Chain A
Amino acid sequence: MIKLIIRIPSGIPGLDELVSEGSGSFAENTVTLVYGPPKVGKSVFSYQFAYEGLLNNEPCLYISTDYGLKDIERNIANFGWNLSEYIENESFYFIDAISTIAGVEVESKPNYFLSSVHNPTDIMVKLGMAIRQITSNSPRYRSVLDSLTTLMAFNDEVLIVRVLTVYIMRIKESGGTAIVTYTEGSASSRVENMLKAIVDNIIHLDGEKLTIEAMIGSGKVKAHYDITSRGIIVD
């Protein structure tokens, strides 16, 4: 059978079966918006997506606006996954856009980039630098931007739509597949519509149900999910 769409596995048990009978969830080289109210598992979803890639030798470029590297490591370790070896072997790239705000001392690593939520221009500079490093070693990679909500708290919303447009362009140009998270209701409905319009896929989480509102190559799907000690599991 010829696969017209190359899908990459989500790392979320049950989701790939739901989307394409197990052959992956996200069409390669697309950007997916994962949104929903607070505390429904958007970041957990991102961790699973990123970690699945690392397990498959796909580097990951993670832009965090909420947690520093140590926090992310700890959050991920809570689910029994070990990020440190991927940080050490430089397959996990991290743009830390929050630690400067907190004045936290950070260590210097080639795959660690310090930026600021105030300075989207600089985030884009660091994104370019990281992509250049990643694509010199790997034609395929994953990226996570978690979350747009914090960027909007520190900047004008429309500016963040612009940032997202550039982010998507850069990711796609360079062969990446990305997830972007956003907390429902934290921007105006106009901006929320703009966000939905510029991504390829949209997944809504509400704490119980996962709804695929839009997905390249598949229709609208809804399923129950749980957040367990092993991450999100879709029934």
Chain B
Amino acid sequence: MKKTYIPKLDDILGGGIIDNASLMFSAVPGVDYEAFGYQMLNGRLRDGDKGFIFTNVAEPETIIYEFKSYGWDLEKFLKDTQAFFVDGTSPFIGLPSDAKYSIEDYSQIEEVILEAIEDVPDGIGIINNLSTLIDYLGENETINIIKKWNSHGKKYNTSLIYLFTKWDYNHDLIQNLKKSMDCVVEIKTIEERVIIGQGFMVAHSSWSKPSDTMVLFFVVQPGGVKVYIPKILVTGPYNAGKSTFVKKISKKSVSVDRKALSAFPTTIALDIGHLEYKGFIADVFGTPGQERFDLLLDVLGRESVGAFIIVDSTAPQTFARAKEMIRKAKAEAIPKVLVANKQDLPGALSPEEIREKMKLGKDIPIIPAIVTEGKGVTDALDALLGLLYGD
């Protein structure tokens, strides 16, 4: 198995891709998908594998620049001859090419790529992009060539990664392309008037039975493909430890507290955090616990995809309030994890006692925690990500 270096994709595929796999990233127009191929290449090169990029969409210089913008040093691998370009762009616009291979005529492409595959045994080749090939070579010829490349890839144990823009090609062509690949990852848009998000899902894989989970992502510079969880809500009764929890799970966080009139600072507007964990990105919103701020729950709950409910395990009298907050945040319908905080204090109820008192179903994980010490925080995160992405 080889890793894909795309967060979450390896898990969905049962650990990664088989060694000599052909994989197609198939994207609707308007989705930023080139980073998927480049991220895979970068990861493999860093692991010591050899690799190449065939490009007919940008000159090698531009691609090197793009790698830089993601924070990846392709130039180093090119200098060490661990990687090379098959340049199908520069000759067409009259620019000189110092790539290992350059293609001046599309009739050369079949042979040149076969040769490139032999140059990177046990390595990886990125074909960017397939759509332009189809437009130049025609549908049938492209399919034939792909089959030859893929079988050559198998012989030399080379992974071939195709980037494909799904313009309005006919249905048969798309089906034939899919059949020629060991794995197809569909990259889609989530639209509401305009594109508001992007997601990927595995449509087909010859070695695993992937779940039909759509993984939201965005592409960041630097960083590359990151899984995106639009909003996570942190709610719970007053003094349960929500602000501390937001701080503990966030890389950065801001809390609007009132300290002047009280010995105990309390949140009077929002805790806002930004979480980066295991390749996942999420914005975290913590709500104030007091009832007079409940109008915020409705607003924040509406767009949340998951929630943490924080309760004080020593204060069962607040559990009814916790349930009320779940309802007001409309969090019944979204995946949620209950964090049973303050387990270190005398009289703390166990997770099962809390489940019973709150009459919560088994589908809601209850994670024992001592948030001030950071205990249970990553367990809670893992539990919510598991619910969101079907682990």
The reply on B358 being an interface residue by CB < 8 A is no
- Interface of A, secondary structure class, is helix
Q: Is B34 a contact of A159 with CB atoms below 8 Å? A: no
The reply on A118 being an interface residue by CB < 8 A is yes
The residues of B that contact A63 with a CB separation of less than 8 Å are: none
Q: Is A166 a contact of B194 with CB atoms below 8 Å? A: no
Chain A, residue nearest B165 (CB): A121
Q: Is A122 a contact of B31 with CB atoms below 8 Å? A: no
The reply on B32 being an interface residue by CB < 8 A is yes
A161 to B132, CA, bound (A): 13
Chain B nearest CB from A123 CB (Å) reads 9
The reply on A37 being an interface residue by CB < 8 A is no
Chain A nearest CB from B188 CB (Å) reads 13
Q: Range of interface residues on chain B?
A: 20 to 34
CB proximity to A under 8 Å, residues B138-194: 165, 167-168, 189, 191, 193-194
The reply on B135 being an interface residue by CB < 8 A is yes
The residues of B that contact A124 with a CB separation of less than 8 Å are: 29-30
Q: Which of A135, A154, A166, A175 makes the CB contact (< 8 A) with B30?
A: A166
The residues of B that contact A174 with a CB separation of less than 8 Å are: 193-194
Chain A nearest CB from B9 CB (Å) reads 20
The residues of A that contact B58 with a CB separation of less than 8 Å are: 100, 116, 118-119, 122
The reply on B315 being an interface residue by CB < 8 A is no
The reply on A5 being an interface residue by CB < 8 A is no
A95 to B237, CA, bound (A): 49
Q: Is B193 a contact of A135 with CB atoms below 8 Å? A: yes
Q: Is B89 a contact of A155 with CB atoms below 8 Å? A: no
The reply on A128 being an interface residue by CB < 8 A is yes
Chain B nearest CB from A73 CB (Å) reads 24
The reply on A196 being an interface residue by CB < 8 A is no
The reply on B82 being an interface residue by CB < 8 A is no
Q: Mark A112-148, 1 if CB is under 8 A from B, else 0.
A: 0000101111101101100110010000000000000
The reply on A107 being an interface residue by CB < 8 A is no
Q: Which of A103, A127, A159, A165 makes the CB contact (< 8 A) with B131?
A: A159
Q: Is B196 a contact of A132 with CB atoms below 8 Å? A: yes
A55 to B92, CA, bound (A): 41
The residues of A that contact B92 with a CB separation of less than 8 Å are: 154
Q: Is B167 a contact of A125 with CB atoms below 8 Å? A: no
* Known contacts A116-B58, A156-B135, A173-B194: A162-B168 contact under CB 8 Å: yes
Chain A nearest CB from B253 CB (Å) reads 25
Q: Is A128 a contact of B194 with CB atoms below 8 Å? A: yes
Q: Which of B27, B32, B59, B135 makes the CB contact (< 8 A) with A155?
A: B135
Chain B, residue nearest A125 (CB): B32
CB proximity to B under 8 Å, residues A191-228: none
Q: Is B62 a contact of A100 with CB atoms below 8 Å? A: yes
CB proximity to A under 8 Å, residues B274-323: none
Q: Which of A118, A166, A173, A175 makes the CB contact (< 8 A) with B29?
A: A166
A220 to B49, CA, bound (A): 64
A116 to B366, CA, bound (A): 51
The reply on A230 being an interface residue by CB < 8 A is no
The residues of B that contact A159 with a CB separation of less than 8 Å are: 131-132, 135, 167
The reply on B56 being an interface residue by CB < 8 A is yes
CB proximity to A under 8 Å, residues B26-44: 27, 29-34
Chain A nearest CB from B199 CB (Å) reads 14
A119 to B132, CA, bound (A): 9
The reply on B256 being an interface residue by CB < 8 A is no
Q: Is B32 a contact of A162 with CB atoms below 8 Å? A: no
The residues of B that contact A118 with a CB separation of less than 8 Å are: 56-58, 89, 93
The residues of B that contact A155 with a CB separation of less than 8 Å are: 132, 135
Q: Mark B55-95, 1 if CB is under 8 A from A, else 0.
A: 01111011000000000000000000000000001001100
Q: Is A121 a contact of B93 with CB atoms below 8 Å? A: no
The reply on B195 being an interface residue by CB < 8 A is yes
A175 to B33, CA, bound (A): 26
Chain B nearest CB from A198 CB (Å) reads 11
* Known contacts A159-B131, A159-B135, A165-B168: A132-B57 contact under CB 8 Å: no
Chain A nearest CB from B32 CB (Å) reads 5
The reply on A101 being an interface residue by CB < 8 A is yes
Chain A nearest CB from B364 CB (Å) reads 35
Q: Is B30 a contact of A125 with CB atoms below 8 Å? A: yes
Chain A nearest CB from B104 CB (Å) reads 15
The reply on A158 being an interface residue by CB < 8 A is yes
Residues of A participating in the B interface, judged by any CB pair closer than 8 Å: 100-101, 103, 116, 118-122, 124-125, 127-128, 131-132, 135, 154-156, 158-159, 162-163, 165-166, 170, 173-175
Give me the 7 closest cross-chain CB pairs, A-B, nearest first. A156-B135, A162-B167, A119-B57, A128-B30, A124-B29, A121-B165, A124-B30
Taking A119-B57, A121-B29, A174-B194 as given, write out 17 further A-B residue pairs in contact, using a Cβ cutoff of 8 Å, ordered by the A residue number: A100-B59, A101-B93, A103-B61, A116-B62, A118-B89, A120-B165, A124-B30, A128-B195, A135-B193, A156-B135, A156-B136, A162-B167, A163-B29, A163-B167, A166-B167, A173-B191, A173-B193
Residues of B participating in the A interface, judged by any CB pair closer than 8 Å: 27, 29-34, 56-59, 61-62, 89, 92-93, 129, 131-132, 135-136, 165, 167-168, 189, 191, 193-196
